[in-house]
Structure 1
Amino acid sequence: MQRIHIVGGGLAGLTAAITAAESHAPVTLHEAHRTLGGRARTSDGPYLTNEGPHALYRRGPHWTWLSKRGLLGPLASVPPLEGARFLFHRGGTLRRTPPLGMLRLARRSARTAPVGTDFLSWATAETGEAGARAAAHYMGVALFHHDPGSLSAAFVQERFRRATALPPEAHYPVGGWAALVERMAARAWDLGVRIETGARIGPRELAGLRRGGPVIVATHLDSARALLEDPALSWESGRTVLLDLALRTRRGDPFIVSDLDAPGWIERFTAQDPTLAPAGEQLIQAQIPLAPGTPRADAVRRAEELLDLGFRSWRDRATWRREALASGRTGAVDKPGTTWRDRPAVDRGDGILLAGDQVAAPGLLSEVAFNSGIEAAVLAVKLLATTARTDTRTAT
């Protein structure tokens, strides 16, 4: 019997599996690892770290999709200002406020920003160079890119508006991404999705799957390029050093330190979700985008300098530390003259569909994976139905 096969069990693959199964299509999900989640995996305790941010953005379409299915689960919101300080590193020191020009820019509609102009040039004309550079560097947290100012003005401004919205859009799944992944996997299982973990699919295995029905490749774009043997599957991404730390708790530690002198971000995730670390400890993550060819040690040094400014005696309080380099795994970024529509298409033809965070679907961060997973599933269900009708006509 024809069925939909999905390669990859991250957010895109799980979203596609649930969407397709809700249409009563037979679905098999193949995941190479022993656990589901992809980039949304949460490390095993006692320190529940993620590969990048822990946040879901409230106004995104994926929020509605998850909510309708009862999958959001417990969420933490941004702590109140009196309980968690938000500090900005500019001019070499920590300040409580960003430049006025950056605040003015946050009120500009994304529709006024041109696709074909770089963000720094457009923003400088709108609000002055100081505010423009601060806004560009601030967006390092949402783009994982070493030079957000060089990207399309429309692309960056849309995300800048959402990242600075009041009340804040960011909400945090309690327990990290793993809790959300578990709920999605349970939903898929209840709908009859066949889930096969430890199942590595190569080009030869893919050819066999294609004979059995539509295939959704919901992997990292580099993996999809190798699996499909298609060199055209590429898009600009970022390179970011992640420094995770557990510190003994001390009153007065900030919630966030945003570097406005260069792209960089430090967030104390236990400020909103204390379950991420044992009692008496705090979990902190520094994210420092790194230019191509720049040594990883440079980003680690910058992270430590920001920690020195914001987290008093952090070296003496550290109980655990982990460093990682996320290279090309940080979602798509659009250069001037391009939009999400120019990325690799979801429909690759011949029954192959693509889903993930670097393909032709709109959204901020993980929203691209959700949106492309939904679109790929809808197309796969249509292909399956077309095949069934053809087989019926042939049989009669």
Structure 2
Amino acid sequence: MKTFQGVAAVAATALLLTGCADTSSPTAGPSTAPSSSVPLPPSDTPPPVSTPTDQPSTPTSTPQTGCLDQKLAGLTLRERAAQLIMTGITATGMTSAERTVVRGRKPGGVLLMGNGGSLAHTRTAMAAATAAATVDGIRPFVAADQEGGKIQRLKGTGFDRIPAATVQAGWSAQKLTSEATQWGRQLKQAGVNLDLAPVADVVPKSLGDGNAPIGALDRGYGSTPGPIGVHVAAFVKGMDAAGVMTSVKHFPGLGRVRGNTDFSAGVVDTVTVRGDADLAPFAAGIEAGSDLVMVSTVTYTKIDKTNRAVFSPTIVQGMLRGDLGYDGVVITDDVGAAAEVASVPAGDRATLFIEAGGDVVITAKASLTATMVDAVVAKAQQDKKFSAQVDASVRRVLALKQSRGLVSCG
């Protein structure tokens, strides 16, 4: 099997596997045999993390670059660290404790937890959360898991009931894009600017519901990479048309595991390899313009047997940023309440991810926000290389926010 060396190459290979074009109307195809081991790319050393500068913009800088430099330079180290944390809040509105955290720490994002209310109620609640988290004209990501089926946070009056991915998989790409645009418009009206979807994981037909995180919850688009990639791309394009960001997930794939990392520890993938064919749907989502990529907390023994994916430089920098050429924002799966990382000190969960090349750390537990921010600040004060990685991550976050109208300049 060929080792993939870039987004376009992987996406093209995905289409060749099935003969699908982006305008086709595939359904979930037959399962494929587990991929065999493939040779690693020429170098297994992660590419270096670029070191941004806080210097004022030069006369040749564009207005956008000048604004970005100004905002970055104007943030304290603690405010920069906070931009890399996404804090869980109650979907119907912040509790008193959550409000204290968001107002005091100014996290770069908030994630809706639990089931929300109506669109109108959500709009009011998210306006309050946005105001509480805004710092120096930089507004937060306001994120929800709005996939469809069993995973839909917002389904009160004003929100369509979204079919499960297994149903969406039977639609044409055009229909899915059209429907996703409608769902995205509802999110946008409600003050939600980021949908933590779509799922790009490939669950083998032989495993099916035995795969607790995806198969058992009908969250996947099928068992063949090509058709899955087409639907992933269609979903991304629909949300983008509505002005809502997306995060393709859960890199490098949860399709071959049995346990759900939210509730189980020691979840391991012993099959997936670097350059695996099942990475194609992630490449398709990136090629379609997904704003973020979410990394799983599973350990992939044939890639990095020592580190969970979120803490693995080989996976985040080597595979995602190197092999797939992705230079956007990388986000964790939840590392706040998830059982998989419970044994790792909360502060380390944040610093290890940033060290690995990631950017935004999700904690479903708002109470861990301060611990994570403090840990990032402390390490940045002691470690120049880590401090440079923090600045690089904040720059990527601010660049995305600026492109989506979440940064006010002047």
TM-score (norm 2): 0.27
The structure whose Rg is larger is 1
**Larger RCO of the pair (alpha carbons < 8 Å, separation 6+):** 1
The structure with the greater share of residues assigned to strand is 1
